[in-house]
Amino acid sequence: MISSIAELISDRIATMPAGERRAAQTLIANYPLTGLKTVAEFSTAAGVSSPTILRFVARLGFQNYPEFQSALQDELAAQLQSPASRTLNPSSAGSAVSPMLEATLDNMRETFRHLSDKQLADIAARLAERRGKTFLIGGRFTDPLARYMAAHLAIIQPDVYHLAGQESIWRDRLIDMGKRDVLVIFDIRRYQESLIRFAEKAHQRGVQIVLFTDQWLSPIARFARHVIAGRTAVPSAWDSSAALFVVAETIIGAVTRQLEADGAKRIRDLEALR
């Protein structure tokens, strides 16, 4: 399974020199469009030299800049695919396991292969902090994940809110958001403009954003403190959120362990109210 450039960056950024790291961060902040510019334009945007950009591209495993750009163009085309344009692969004759299940399991393995223990621990630690509120929201097909995660976190700690309803309702909640708070957003292709606008406004207010997205990266990545890039493509007209669901459950479990004492007391108190 071919890794996306965002996944390659996630795998290798810890070993990059400072200049290449700036190139990587600049690309992620406007993914993939910055990489589709000339070397000179990319280097200016990142504030590094053109040779640094070429070394960055080589570190990702590309022979030259055109090969790097060709891969980005393929990713951009995949980003823009609609359900109607995706090829439906028929089930393999005589297969004991359907292609859909195989693809879903591969997505989970690949997602976790590109996630570091530190990244997951950092996100869990931030969500376990008691110094602010936690808001969760998703798109047309991913909001059930936000609702599911919010339902669990709200049991073990206070001030957890799932943002539902119309965009105007989300915007009204911005008045309650600030630098002490976290906003968890789920957004996969084709990325939802209303979520992008909302994320930008929250970012302007200093809210820390945790983004769950796909391997091609929602534009919200430019505003996010933490980005989970999960595999979503399966042999179907529809993308699969299964890998992101498992990541969400992994983080829920980690937060629960960190809040073990307070969470257990809160659960007992909730049970007593029933």
pLDDT tens-place string over residues 210-233: 999 999 999 999 999 999 999 998
Closest CA to 176 of 128, 133, 130: 133
- Confidence at residue 79, expressed as pLDDT on a 0 to 100 scale: 81
The 10s digit of each residue's pLDDT in 99-158 is: 889 999 999 999 999 999 999 999 999 999 988 999 999 999 999 999 999 999 999 999
Sheet holding 226-230, edge to edge: 160-162, 134-138, 182-186, 208-214, 226-230
Please, is 266 exposed, middle or buried when counting C-beta atoms within 10 Å of its C-beta (0-12, 13-18, 19+)? middle
Least confident of 18-27, 42-51, 265-274: 265-274
Under 8 Å between Cβ of 211 and 224 = yes
Which whole number is the average pLDDT over 243-249? 97
Q: How far apart are CA 25 and CA 7, in angstroms?
A: 13
User: Cα 119 to the chain's mean position, in Å?
Assistant: 12
- Greatest C-alpha distance within the chain: 65
pLDDT digits 0-9 by tens, 1-45? 688 999 999 889 989 999 999 999 999 988 989 999 999 999 999
What does DSSP assign to residue 159?
A: S
